[in-house]
Structure 1
Amino acid sequence: METMLAARLHVPSRTLRVEEVPRPQPGPGEVLVKVEAAGVCLSDVHLIDGTLTPLLLRGDTVTLGHEVSGTIAEAGAGVTDWTPGQRVVLHAGEHRNGVTYTRGVDYDGGWAEFALSAAHALTPLPDSIPFEQGAIIPDAVSTPWGAITETGAVRPAEATGVWGVGGLGVHAVQLLRAVGACPVVAVDPNPVARERALAAGADLALDPADPGLRETVAAATGGAGLAAAFDFAGVPAVREQAVSVLAPKGRLVLVGLTDQPLTLTDGTRFSYLQQRVLGHYGSDMTTALPQLLRLVQAGRLDFSGSISATLPLSRAAEAVARLEKKEGNPIRLILRP
């Protein structure tokens, strides 16, 4: 029996171990992918620390990793669209019987030497895009893309705000500028993150503790407020502050995940101004991935600066610790088998 290395999370004890496991075999309609790069996301940290718990996982252990790129190693029975050696990006999830299963959460992901995928849950990766950049587009880029273009429905020249300029928020800033939002206001308590936001294309980068934040946003928007605000932090204080600077009929899009109750202090004001709160999760991989890969390939978007460091799979626990502690303020750390 062939084996491989995989970083496996035992969910009941929240224990992460890199261990030898049987190399999977593709069944009918599946492909086996040789992993070349896998991103480390804050969601992975939250799975390990217990903030998030898989809802659909069979068993008690899962290989983490939902941002994955690689090459086709083997095709299962009935698969004719993929051949060994093709470069691919794996979708961050799969739809089964109307239910969304997340890779590396509800079934085994890509923190491994090889990963299984349904044949329909892959997108070709152009030769011109490095595996590291291709790997992070599912979730780190596609999630804010979906939040902006679908859930938030941002239109050119609309005033927008991004709270939390981390691994997803920094890409939201870049993408908002790409779709023509104006101004793009970034809010983060970390001065390094604010500098990063300005480099990514933000018109303003503000400290949430700044007592003049509301006045600054009002001045930047001609007194109108923000048409759309995006919460990438998932904390109550962010939501309250974002709502306080929303325009009438403005929408607050919740991207950062939280297991805490969602509350609004002044419900009457919120209703009077006909504002909206919209939940967002992931993206439609069949449209988002081809769109984003096309924009990268054409030079309209560049995520090379998002790759903060690359570590071997054997150091997965170190990568998690570095992200959790924000050591070096990473955007994305990459694991390579």
Structure 2
Amino acid sequence: MTATRHAVPTMRAQRFRKATRQWAIEEIPVPEPGPGEVLVKVAYCGICHSDLSLIDGVFGGADVPDVVTQGHEAAGTIASIGPGVTGWAVGDRVIPAAGRPCGVCEYCRRADFGNCSNIRLMAFAYDGAWAEYTVAQAVGLTRVPDSVPLDQAAILADAVSTPFGAVVRTGKVAIGEAVGVWGVGGVGTHIVQLARLVGANPIVAFDLDEEIRGRALAVGADFAFDSRDPDVKAKVAEVTKGHLLDVAFDAVGLKATFEQGLDLLTAGGRIVGVGLSAQKVSLGTTAAFGLSRKQALGHLGYKNEDIGTLVDLVAAGRLDLSRSISGVVGLDDLADGIRRLHEHEGNPIRILVQP
């Protein structure tokens, strides 16, 4: 009598190969959740510029495995639960955290996982969610109420939470402070919305594209200027009653945008670098910088609890992300979604994958 072999369940997933920087949609085994993990059936996953940076070869360090599934802004429902998981059930609507603490650094050793110095990034160090299923640590999940659409929930895990961290934690924007935002795309749009939510006044958006400047006004900016305008500093002075900006957020990350933001700060103002590039910036002479009392701050990421705060804000109607979903593609059309973001076709805020 021969034993019956049971077929391993499979799923469709995007698979990126580091050596060739090529990717394809493949049929692979559905992963099994291990101790402390859950299997999430992916409803939506965003396409982010950092995903493009891996494909383009801008990013790709030793932590990236030879083959990896991309996509780190996900939401879905729990499909199965691994050993030792409590407090969660199959069918729960969740957002997986987009990173896992290393467990060995000085912060992790004292259970301060939010400040892990060697955090492993989803879709870079381990498989992400451009797939039908993804495995997530139960301790990093955020519950999503029925009132919050899963497409909006997905983008909370970076496109909105990173701006939240920039505005609330790094920039520490206070009520009534004048705020400038350079680049009103996937990150800058949400910086504008969150700055308005915490009471910034006025909010000034800067972008080269007239259509994007109009969109910035629609989501909460008070003024929107072309950063190439030779009179832009005078215009900022006019709308701030001569004060200039208390906080400047550079969501582009170029030398020109960072240094213009620094120049438009009032004495003691803060510039927060959110956008990333390989370009070098200058703070001017140490004498001028010291006398100005300005601060230059770098920002990256968020804390997991920030996602829960954002879920509550969306559920309460305080934060409207309906404009942020610029399109949805299936796995078969993933290449077109990547192209649209890469070429800025239609100036998308977020294009989502629906596996």
Q: Does 1:2 align with 2:9?
A: yes
Q: Look up the match of 1:103.
A: 122
Match among 80, 92, 115 for residue 86 of structure 2:
80
Matched letter for residue 77 of structure 2: T
Q: Distance in 1 between matches of 2:18 and 2:253?
A: 22
Spell out, residue by residue over 1:213-237, the C-alpha distance to the aligned partner (whole angstroms, 9 max, x if none). 1011111222222111001001100
Q: Look up the match of 2:109.
A: none
Match among 140, 156, 163 for residue 144 of structure 1:
163
Q: Does 1:303 align with 2:310?
A: no
2:96–2:137 Cα contact (<8 Å) kept: no
Matched letter for residue 30 of structure 2: R
Q: Distance in 1 between matches of 2:67 and 2:330?
A: 21
Matched letter for residue 92 of structure 2: Q
Q: Distance in 2 between matches of 1:33 and 1:25?
A: 10
Q: Look up the match of 1:212.
A: 231
SS of the residue corresponding to residue 33 of structure 1 reads strand
Match among 162, 173, 177 for residue 158 of structure 1:
177
Q: Distance in 1 between matches of 2:335 and 2:127?
A: 17
SS of the residue corresponding to residue 119 of structure 2 reads strand
1:173–1:184 Cα contact (<8 Å) kept: yes
Q: Distance in 2 between matches of 1:17 and 1:191?
A: 36
Q: Look up the match of 1:330.
A: 348
Q: Distance in 2 between matches of 1:222 and 1:269?
A: 23
Higher strand residue share: 1
Q: Look up the match of 2:311.
A: 293
Spell out, residue by residue over 1:229-271, the C-alpha distance to the aligned partner (whole angstroms, 9 max, x if none). 0010011000111011011111111111123334334443222
Q: Look up the match of 1:46.
A: 53
SS of the residue corresponding to residue 7 of structure 1 reads strand
SS of the residue corresponding to residue 120 of structure 1 reads helix
Shift of 1:76: 0.4
SS of the residue corresponding to residue 96 of structure 1 reads coil
Q: Distance in 2 between matches of 1:314 and 1:244?
A: 46
Q: Look up the match of 2:34.
A: 27
Match among 228, 235, 258 for residue 277 of structure 2:
258
Q: Distance in 2 between matches of 1:55 and 1:174?
A: 36
Q: Distance in 1 between matches of 2:231 and 2:62?
A: 42
Q: Look up the match of 2:268.
A: 249
1:28–1:78 Cα contact (<8 Å) kept: yes
Matched letter for residue 75 of structure 2: S
Matched letter for residue 273 of structure 2: L
Q: Does 1:92 align with 2:98?
A: yes
Q: Distance in 2 between matches of 1:55 and 1:242?
A: 34
Q: Does 1:315 align with 2:305?
A: no
Matched letter for residue 253 of structure 1: V
User: Between the two proteins, what is the percent identity of the paired residues?
Assistant: 47
Q: How does 1:172-183 map to 2 (within 5 A)?
A: 172-183=191-202
The size of the alignment, in residue pairs, is 335
Q: How does 1:107-122 map to 2 (within 5 A)?
A: 107-122=126-141
Deviates more, 1:9-18 or 1:187-196: 9-18
Matched letter for residue 83 of structure 2: A
2:330–2:354 Cα contact (<8 Å) kept: yes
1:16–1:317 Cα contact (<8 Å) kept: no
1:240–1:265 Cα contact (<8 Å) kept: no
SS of the residue corresponding to residue 157 of structure 1 reads coil
Shift of 1:136: 0.5
Q: Look up the match of 2:257.
A: 238
For structure 1, the 5+ residue unaligned runs are none
2:42–2:77 Cα contact (<8 Å) kept: yes
Shift of 1:8: 1.7
2:259–2:281 Cα contact (<8 Å) kept: no
CA RMSD of aligned residues (A): 1.2
- The TM-score with structure 1 as length reference comes to 0.97
Q: Distance in 2 between matches of 1:252 and 1:197?
A: 20
Shift of 1:96: 1.9
Q: Distance in 2 between matches of 1:11 and 1:280?
A: 27
Matched letter for residue 311 of structure 1: V
Matched letter for residue 244 of structure 2: G
Q: Look up the match of 1:190.
A: 209
Matched letter for residue 2 of structure 1: P
